[in-house]
Chain A
């Protein structure tokens, strides 16, 4: 088992109102097969043993599925390579490398502590339209509603979004358009999502603006970092869906 050494710059910030600063840590003898979060665990254990306060970060499944972990590693939200921050491995870095870890920077994601930000803004966007109305009860027959394969595929690609917030963190404008676009595309393509379709884009975009996210400038930074590989096609679809919804309202169409 080979070990590696790193020069870490980790963001420390007590609360949203605190100033915050980087702390420098020489992380020595880190096993090269560690994941990035395991490396942070080792560093935090050592800090605790030294009687110092560990660096807070969020994580849950550590399998790249849940979208809980969120941090910016060397300027890249969710770190280098595809997948969330938990899917980054220390062997991808070079021995002795300086690694800077910062929280997501977006006004709509206020810092809770250190590397942890509050991403409830995404929940509020979902609440405003990222749902369908459906009967509860027994699972329906899987083939009861026929959906053409290309439509199902496109909806599934958009449904891959784990809502981690990396898109808004990467966007120079802190825009959440990839996230909102993924939800609007996913639900808008499927028959089950037609009921709320016209309202959905309008309502979610309005909430996105109210939460203080920026506007899309077609930089495509979101697409470059998305751990779920969601494509900017969903933004194109959102742009269409939104104007369609507003025009329907403007001409007094039903629903």
Chain B
């Protein structure tokens, strides 16, 4: 039918919902919703640090006590992350191919800086998430974290976090990552409504403003923790913090 048509066919047996342009974008949007909801929950939990060591360690112990449920959440999140990234990469690959020759005069034309930086911000956040898991969940950089317990015999998460963030490099990377995460969400949140067909001329400014506000709330919320540690507002009462990088 067409001479210039590329030979790209939708993958044999599966529904075009998983291979078409729009179907894959829906998956990216839907997994994005799950990840944003996780971020909100994660932030609310993390803010328990401002209630003191007892509150945070109790919260951490509660999470650990729901081991089975925790695994369900982990598997769902991992699946969402993989799908979100995989489909973005395949879409991006096609987008690159669709514009073989660039314009001599570049014009941004209505696009926002957040939209243009989605890949950079997303990949940096991915690198950060892996580091973040290695640091606090697997505790591979500082195995001694595993031995820290508080007076009630619970894992001393509070001391671990304060100790880690007292290093300016650790806090610095964290701040950059949550900053880029905020930028990613500044485009992503409003964008997902458009992709799911839930936006129009009247709603779009509201959704864009709302997305920006939620992105800022998440950024300020997450950034407040290392910032407070660096400023000495949150500190450990027993034992000197030892910086994992500087020591």
Chain A residues at the B interface, C-beta cutoff of 8 Å: 9, 22, 72, 74-76, 100, 102, 105-108, 110, 118, 120-121, 124, 170, 172-175, 202, 205-221, 223-225, 231-233, 235-243, 246-247, 249-250
Q: Are B15 and A246 in contact, CB atoms less than 8 angstroms apart?
A: yes
> A120 CA to B3 CA in the complex, in Å?
10
Q: Note all chain B residues with C-beta closer than 8 A to A105.
A: 99-103
Q: Which of B116, B198, B201: most chain A Cβ within 10 A?
A: B201
Picked from B94, B108, B198, B200, the residue with its CB within 8 Å of the CB of A214 is: B94
Chain B residues at the A interface, C-beta cutoff of 8 Å: 1-2, 4-6, 8, 10, 15-17, 20-26, 91, 94-95, 97-111, 115-116, 118, 187, 190-191, 194-201, 204
Q: Note all chain A residues with C-beta closer than 8 A to B2.
A: 120-121, 124, 207, 210-211
Picked from A75, A108, A110, A238, the residue with its CB within 8 Å of the CB of B22 is: A238
* A224: min CB distance to chain B, Å: 3
Q: Note all chain B residues with C-beta closer than 8 A to A215.
A: 21, 24-25, 91, 94-95
* B207: min CB distance to chain A, Å: 11
A107-B99, A210-B5 known; A239-B196 Cβ under 8 A: yes
> A182 CA to B190 CA in the complex, in Å?
21
> DSSP class of B's interface residues: helix, strand, loop or mixed?
loop
Q: Which of B21, B26, B111: most chain A Cβ within 10 A?
A: B21
A205-B22, A217-B95, A239-B194 known; A107-B100 Cβ under 8 A: yes
Q: Note all chain A residues with C-beta closer than 8 A to B107.
A: 74-76
Q: Are A209 and B20 in contact, CB atoms less than 8 angstroms apart?
A: yes
**Contacts A232-B204, A239-B25 given; 17 further ones with Cβ under 8 A?**
A74-B105, A100-B105, A105-B101, A108-B98, A202-B16, A209-B20, A217-B118, A218-B190, A218-B191, A221-B111, A232-B201, A235-B194, A240-B197, A242-B22, A243-B22, A243-B23, A250-B17
* A62: min CB distance to chain B, Å: 24
> A216 CA to B199 CA in the complex, in Å?
15
> A147 CA to B22 CA in the complex, in Å?
29
Picked from B1, B102, B109, B191, the residue with its CB within 8 Å of the CB of A225 is: B109
Q: Note all chain B residues with C-beta closer than 8 A to A209.
A: 8, 20-21, 94
A235-B194, A243-B17 known; A102-B22 Cβ under 8 A: no
Q: Note all chain A residues with C-beta closer than 8 A to B116.
A: 172, 219
Q: Note all chain A residues with C-beta closer than 8 A to B103.
A: 72, 75, 102, 105
